Amino acid sequence: MSSRVCSFPFVDLSGRLTVVTGANHGIGAATACCLAAHGTSGLVTYLRVEAAADPGILDSCRRDRARDVEHVLRAIGDAGANAVAVEADLAAEGFPALLFDAAEEAVGPVDILVNSATGRGITANVVSPPVTDTGWVTDQVRQAVVDSSTLIHVAQPEEVADVIAHLASDHARLITGNIIHLR
């Protein structure tokens, strides 16, 4: 892990609680340390992956993926923050819900989620819904949508859920790392 923690010293995230996955090396470890340097505390997850020697994978990468997360916890502590670690496979059934339960029990309600876990068929997309009638849409809001040059219509929650279900299906298994803007 590099000695450089963060580039933006003016960012203040004091009091925010985080969950960072894949935090034993790479982007996850760097992100957990950077967020801690900006005042967050939280929970980090990791999964030690023991891989056989492969000419396509550097030995240093194989070693990093097999590491625990103690070096990251030390760096977080050195930054004056607190974190707890959980080793777990995010692909395990029911684990995402348990992750948030563990985080809330250890540090409180989560404000920031950073999903850095990769290479196991897990896709990560963000769905940005349009104005959606979840009970708050008034006649004025409907008119604002009609008058807008960028908004198309007021969506129903089921329309947004359809897109999310599609992204979670095998039909969309190649779609990952995107922000899906619904109209």
pTM over 0.75: no
Residues 6+ apart with CB under 8 A from 139: none
pLDDT of amino acid 181: 92
pLDDT of amino acid 4: 55
pLDDT of amino acid 121: 65
pLDDT of amino acid 147: 95
pLDDT of amino acid 2: 52
Name the stretches of the chain with pLDDT < 50. none
pLDDT of amino acid 5: 58
pLDDT of amino acid 139: 93
Mean per-residue pLDDT over the chain, rounded: 84
pLDDT of amino acid 140: 94
